[in-house]
Amino acid sequence: MPLTVYQKYGSPDGRFVNPVDGAGSSFTYTYVVLGADNVTTATNAVAATAPLLYTADDGQILVRQEFTPRPTGPETWDVEVRYGTEDDRKSREPPEAGFWRFSFDTTGGSHKITQSLETLHRVEADQADPAPDVKQAIGWDGKKVNGVEIVVPKLEFDITAYYAPTAITTGYMKDLARKTGRTNAAAWLGFAEGEVLYMGSTGDGDVPLTCGARVKPIPIVHKFAASENIENLEIGDMTVPSKKGFEYIWVRYKQIESTDTTNLIPKPVHAYVERVYEKVDFAALFGFG
């Protein structure tokens, strides 16, 4: 008998609750399966047919939750498919290997800068001793440029990825540890090369000693920070062509006489962009992105 699936007459049965929150609303479709010699084949056939979502007449969207198969004859089955609200516990299917979810924090961080974007005013107490142009150097005390702490954009995020138990080995654990503190060697999850820093991972699960000792996926939490790549950064009379997110830039100053020869002032004369982190292929290391 060929495998056949169709919706049973009179289906679906439904129970409707307050459309404001939809709590408790549910519908059940019943499918008839012909030509299936076991419960797994029958259920899989319906899973390939029944939609993942059901939209009720009032616009509520219900999620496919569970299958209930019952044999009704030789190679013949009734399979009920229950749909409920997304908030229903049954709608929250356990994650499978390869699944991942993320959380993030964009609370601003602090960073010390020695150059401003623009000097808005230069004021002097005595016009005979005019305030010199220090080329946006901040906090020059006659010996060094002290700078100032400012709030800067900062993004930190965690990704919880679920792996097959056999993939989580002591070797993989060591690999994660040894590659902590590296930036992405290629574009990854929408970030350009060099914009993401791997901060490390945490995990907790039963690692099988032999293949097949565990089936449930093991979650690993990977932690990251992100910083934007910059191009054409102006520092005094210089333009730095590019600086990736986690490269380090520092400026060398020289003391020169002000144009009126009344002061020694700092002049940024050299800028250095340093690569301080190794790179790694994030997609290969974490298995996603």
Does pTM top 0.75 for this prediction?
no
Both structure tokens of 51: 């939609």
Q: Is the confidence at residue 155, as pLDDT, over 50? A: yes
87 half-sphere exposure, CB direction, 13 A CA radius: 6
Across the range 154-183, mean pLDDT stands at: 91
Mean pLDDT estimate for the chain: 84
Q: When comparing pLDDT for 88 and 200, which is higher?
A: 200
Q: Is the confidence at residue 106, as pLDDT, over 60? A: yes
Across the range 166-170, mean pLDDT stands at: 85
Q: How far apart are the first and last CA of the chain?
A: 44
Cβ within 8 Å of residue 73, ≥6 positions away: none
Give, in degrees to the nearest 5, the angle at Cα 203 between 177 and 160.
Answer: 100
